[in-house]
Structure 1
Amino acid sequence: MSENSTFDAVVLKELNKPLELIKGIQFPALKSGQTLIKIFYAGLCHSQVMEARGHRGKDPYLPHMLGHEGTGEVVAVGDGVTKVAPGDYVVMTWIKGTGQEAGGCCYAGPSGETINSGGVTTFGEYAVVSENRLVRKPDGIPFDLGVLLGCALPTGAGIVLNDIKPAKGAKIAVIGLGGIGISALLAATTFDPTVLIAVDIEQSKLDLAREFGATHVFHASKDDWEAEILALTDGKGVDHAVEATGLAEMIERSFNVIRPGGGELVFASHPKAGDMIRLDPFELIKGKKIRGSWGGSSKPDRDLEILADLFRKGHLPLERLLSNTYTLHTINEALEDLENRKIIRALIKINEPPADAA
């Protein structure tokens, strides 16, 4: 199925331990609905940090592979796969689209040990991926930038395009400027908001948000940002807030800055397992709304082309979101840099795309 009989991949063997690069993993026989992908680039986001650090609670699938956004080439397909064919260039995403749901996959390690994976994994030279986690790569999207179409953009921009759908001239706040938050802010600029507020703990990200179109920026630990937002909106609050910090406390505080009578907070952040949020129920009676978003309510087969078109028109400067490039050998450095807020999104280069690939 490839030029080699085995491949290398990064594996999570123990929680809160460094990821391990395992060599000599065997290719499994493809089942119905499965595809074999040669991976060019993968993205790394806070979901992988949480998995590796044990913040999602007990993990019954150890050892297992990680990664849920990437780009690559279809090498082979299992029975019944019609959405893609060998030779197609694809985006891999954790968000389910059309096609068969083939479930996870079990690999044999170099000593015959079982290594688990879900319906999509991207931290390896190759991966078996379920048909419904693939979308053909849109034209004009480079392979490196294309990884953002697998998670950050459909989630962050999707919250704005699919969940919020703000009216022109709305007042919007984005709290947390990682890959999802920045994507939400970029999408919000296309609706011509009268007020577009960005809140983060890193000044470099606030500077970037200002460059991207934020009308006001506040430092989460230096400014009284809740009071500042209320002052900007005549004490009422914003029409929409997007929360993407991954902290339960910030979800609660973001709820304070939306207006009564229809103001809405949508969050895609993922606090640690067991963390709870506390809200004043009277604020809900007054008409404030709060909800979570699963992948920005995106439909990958539809929305990836919409996002690609925004990129081609210059509305999504994706190259500014990928801070540093790492390899499978340096992936633990990427985890640490992301965990310590040094970067927005980590790019993992795995295989060189063909020189003539579009």
Structure 2
Amino acid sequence: MSPEPQPLQMTAAVLTRTEQPLEIVSDIALAPPKRGQVLVKLAYSGVCHSQLMEVRGLRGPDAYLPHLLGHEGSGKVIAVGEGVTKVSPGDLVVLGWIKGNGLDGGSVRYECGCLGQTINAGGVTTFNEYALVSENRVVLLPAGIPLDIAVLFGCAVPTGAGIVTNDLKPDTGSTVAIFGLGGIGMSALIATMLFDCARVIAVDVSDEKLALSRSFGATDIINAKSSDPVAALKALTQGMGVDYAIEASGQVSVIEQAFASIRRGGGVCVFASHPAHGSRISIDPYELICGKQIRGSWGGGSNPDRDIPLFAKLYLEGRLPLEKLLTHRYALSQINEALDDMEHQRVGRPLIEIDGGLGAAA
């Protein structure tokens, strides 16, 4: 089979101004990949809370406008630059923000006649038909994994499930509370099924997400909109508090609740969320002296080249039912609708369909 010709231009969703909708731009020029870069034709992209924060201007001043967005996706390699050995044209791949093996091709700049200015991009973007990405941001798609499911291996699964499997590794008979049931929180919840936990308690403000969490192994659910989650968790643990709390909502107040909910004498609170720029958490230092621990997690401590094949194996064995996370699908032209639905908690992990037929065509 002859290699697919490199396209001359693409369509992408571009952030031109914060606090404004993304612009769908169709005349973005594509250049051949440089050293350490891979040209990928996107099949699907996920939408993470991080992109919502960027679009809404909650990451602070944005020095890179206009720029592309998205950091989890799947697609097919069209061309590779000098020095790239990890993948070849025709390979199906997972794209993610967590650095793995391979060269770092650096940032990318795309020319665009419509906007009349250069469009910036980092080591990986996925709200676009094609992407020039660094070799260290792609992983070969494990055999048997559908391209839509593959999107979740770019961020949600390595971060959420990684917190459980890499950072915490819950002890047998332990109690775990998960605050925030978006893609990362749900992935963490699913991963607790790999351990022999006595109680796994899901905390959210959405009855729909809480109901879904039951099928992912939650033994108890708490709607934080109608009850005090810290008091409820203490009641479920005879006043002691949980052994582990995972915070994935992206809100300072919820990080504080998660820390308050863990037990003294060894309770651990881990968060991977990134609240709005300038936010600060407030905790009682005496609780640290009493043996509580709090720490952040960078991508669930995951190494994509090591962990994606492991998570893929668990999925194929039916132990990580990730298909249940993909409840809402959108076209690239509907990206702003997907962001609005995420903001108003109408969806967990939006899936953007860019070219879903790639797997069948490969």
TM-score (norm 1): 0.98
- Residue equivalent to 1:314: 318
- Residue equivalent to 1:170: 174
Secondary structure, in 3 states, of the residue corresponding to 1:86?
coil
Which segments of 5 or more consecutive residues in structure 2 lack a partner in the other structure?
A: none
- Residue equivalent to 1:58: 61
Q: Mapping of 1:285-324 within 5 angstroms?
A: 285-324=289-328
Residue of 111, 118, 127 corresponding to 1:114:
118
Q: Give the Cα–Cα distance (whole angstroms) in 2 for the partners of residues 269 and 127 of structure 1.
A: 26
- Residue equivalent to 1:356: 360
Residue of 79, 90, 94 corresponding to 2:93:
90
Alpha-carbon contact 2:326-2:349 (below 8 Å) kept: yes
Which segments of 5 or more consecutive residues in structure 1 lack a partner in the other structure?
A: none
Give the partner amino acid of 1:142: P
Q: Give the Cα–Cα distance (whole angstroms) in 2 for the partners of residues 14 and 356 of structure 1.
A: 37
Secondary structure, in 3 states, of the residue corresponding to 2:336?
helix
Matched, 1:253 2:257: yes
Q: Give the Cα–Cα distance (whole angstroms) in 1 for the partners of residues 359 and 254 of structure 2.
A: 45
Give the partner amino acid of 2:338: A
- Residue equivalent to 1:150: 154
Secondary structure, in 3 states, of the residue corresponding to 2:360?
coil
Q: Give the Cα–Cα distance (whole angstroms) in 2 for the partners of residues 113 and 277 of structure 1.
A: 39
Count of residue pairs the alignment pairs up: 358
Alpha-carbon contact 1:28-1:108 (below 8 Å) kept: no
Secondary structure, in 3 states, of the residue corresponding to 1:90?
strand
- Residue equivalent to 2:23: 20
Give the partner amino acid of 2:278: G
Residue of 71, 75, 93 corresponding to 1:72:
75
CA deviations on 1:271-320 (whole Å, 9 max, x unpaired) are 10011000000000011000000100100001001111111111211111
Runs of 4+ in 1 over 2 A off after TM superposition: 1-4, 352-358
Q: Give the Cα–Cα distance (whole angstroms) in 2 for the partners of residues 356 and 55 of structure 1.
A: 39
Q: Give the Cα–Cα distance (whole angstroms) in 1 for the partners of residues 181 and 8 of structure 2.
A: 42
Q: Mapping of 1:123-202 within 5 angstroms?
A: 123-202=127-206
Q: Give the Cα–Cα distance (whole angstroms) in 2 for the partners of residues 236 and 283 of structure 1.
A: 13
TM-score (norm 2): 0.97
Q: Give the Cα–Cα distance (whole angstroms) in 1 for the partners of residues 192 and 217 of structure 2.
A: 9
Residue of 329, 334, 350 corresponding to 2:333:
329
Per-residue deviation, 1:190:
1.3
CA deviations on 1:186-224 (whole Å, 9 max, x unpaired) are 101210210110100000111111122111100011022
Alpha-carbon contact 2:266-2:293 (below 8 Å) kept: yes
**Percent identity over the alignment?**
54
Q: Give the Cα–Cα distance (whole angstroms) in 2 for the partners of residues 280 and 355 of structure 1.
A: 52
CA deviations on 1:24-51 (whole Å, 9 max, x unpaired) are 1111232110010000100011111000
Matched, 1:101 2:104: yes
Per-residue deviation, 1:352:
3.4
